[in-house]
């Protein structure tokens, strides 16, 4: 908060072994009284500054122990301002399909805002999941990789009832190149190059020439070479013109 945080979001959803072995992340779902003590302590510490504390968690530790509803009630009683629920248990990691029944039960059990998460892959799915669960919103993870305009699509559908028309190629190119520049500026040369490579792997799905482009984009050994290479491929793609919806959304 001293650094200017406007919200404190507690992560009790991470399934990683190195996190859970230290009884952090989703491992905490095994100890509900500890969950309560942590949440109460953080809420109490944040209260004087008026900073809301939110919680991100899963539906339970494993399918035999889906205690998401109890954890949500503990969170509400502890003064948590909003809940984001990933519709998988810790044991599920990121595998299988997210289930929304438990999110719906959690939503019905508490009166704080609940946000549904897991496998929201396109705007229609966001609307369907919100209608099924009764949540106030959705949270998107992996489907935004290489498709950050999914947020525009979802917001458009939820606010106007229609998915907005696809962005023209030139605008998509500008988003991609702008993202690369932001990555370089934030992470610097070495990490920037590596992190941008990952995003280019996803963005290159847009390109008609993806199979030829990918090895070149991955081989570039500096951010300036990588940027030049990406610009070349995306400029050519813009030059080839818009041919309907440019990407199969996720
Ligand atoms: C590689 C990877 C890293 C993640 N890191 C975080 C993280 O640091 N904090 C967090 O709250 N969730 C993290 N998540 C979980 C996502 O926020 C989200 O809950 C999960 O991917 C399910 O949503 P999705 O099906 O839309 O991807 C991560 C997910 C993945 C795949």
Q: Are residues 138 and 18 in the same domain?
A: yes
Please count the CA atoms within 13 angstroms of the CA of 119 that sit on its side-chain side.
12
What is the residue range of 51's domain? 8-160
Instruction: Give the pTM.
Output: 0.93
The predicted-structure confidence for 96-148, as pLDDT tens digits, reads as follows 999 999 999 999 999 999 999 999 999 999 999 999 999 999 999 999 999 99
The predicted-structure confidence for 184-194, as pLDDT tens digits, reads as follows 999 999 999 99
Distances from the Cα of 212 to the Cα of 22, 165, 170, 233, angstroms: 44, 29, 21, 10
- 29: domain CATH number is 3.20.20.70
Q: Is residue 245 part of a domain?
A: no
Q: In angstroms, what is the span from residue 15 Cα to ligand 1's centroid?
A: 10
Q: Are residues 118 and 20 in the same domain?
A: yes
The predicted-structure confidence for 28-50, as pLDDT tens digits, reads as follows 999 999 999 999 999 999 999 99
Q: Are residues 115 and 217 in the same domain?
A: no
Q: Are residues 155 and 173 in the same domain?
A: no
DSSP 3-state assignment of 54? strand
- DSSP for 8-46, written as a single string: EEEEE----HHHHTTT-GGGGGG-HHHHHHHHHHHHHHH
Q: Are residues 146 and 225 in the same domain?
A: no
Domain boundary among 160, 195, 230: 160
The predicted-structure confidence for 155-175, as pLDDT tens digits, reads as follows 999 999 999 999 999 999 999
Q: Is residue 12 part of a domain?
A: yes
Ligand 1 neighbourhood includes 143 CB (under 6 angstroms): yes
* Number of structural domains found in the chain: 2
Q: Are residues 146 and 187 in the same domain?
A: no
Q: Are residues 131 and 173 in the same domain?
A: no
Which of the listed residues 86, 95, 141 should we mutate to test ligand 1's pocket, taking the one with most ligand atoms within 8 A of CB?
141
Choose, from 14, 20, 24, 229, the residue flagged as catalytic. 14
């Amino acid at each position: 908060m001293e650094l200017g945080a406007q919200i404190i979001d507690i992560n009790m959803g991470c399934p990683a072994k190195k996190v859970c072995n230290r009884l952090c992340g989703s491992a905490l779902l095994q100890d509900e009284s500890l969950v309560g003590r942590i949440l109460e302590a953080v809420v109490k510490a944040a209260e004087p500054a008026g900073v809301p504390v939110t919680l991100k968690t899963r539906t339970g530790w494993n399918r035999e122990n889906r205690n998401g509803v109890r954890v949500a009630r503990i969170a509400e009683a502890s003064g948590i301002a909003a809940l984001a629920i990933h519709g998988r248990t810790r044991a599920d990691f990121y595998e299988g399909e997210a289930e929304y029944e438990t999110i719906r039960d959690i939503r019905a059990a508490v009166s704080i805002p609940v946000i549904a998460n897991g496998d929201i892959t396109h705007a229609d799915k966001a609307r369907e999941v919100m209608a099924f669960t009764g949540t106030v919103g959705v949270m998107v993870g992996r489907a935004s990789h290489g498709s950050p305009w999914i947020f525009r699509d979802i917001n458009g559908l939820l606010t106007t009832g229609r998915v907005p028309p696809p962005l023209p190629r030139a605008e998509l190119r500008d988003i991609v190149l702008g993202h690369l520049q932001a990555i370089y500026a934030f992470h610097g040369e070495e990490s920037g190059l590596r992190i941008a490579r990952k995003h280019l792997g996803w963005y290159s799905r847009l390109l008609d020439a993806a199979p030829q482009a990918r090895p070149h984009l991955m081989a570039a050994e500096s951010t300036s070479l990588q940027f030049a290479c990406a610009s070349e491929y995306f400029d050519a793609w813009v030059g080839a013109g818009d041919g309907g919806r440019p990407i199969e959304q996720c």
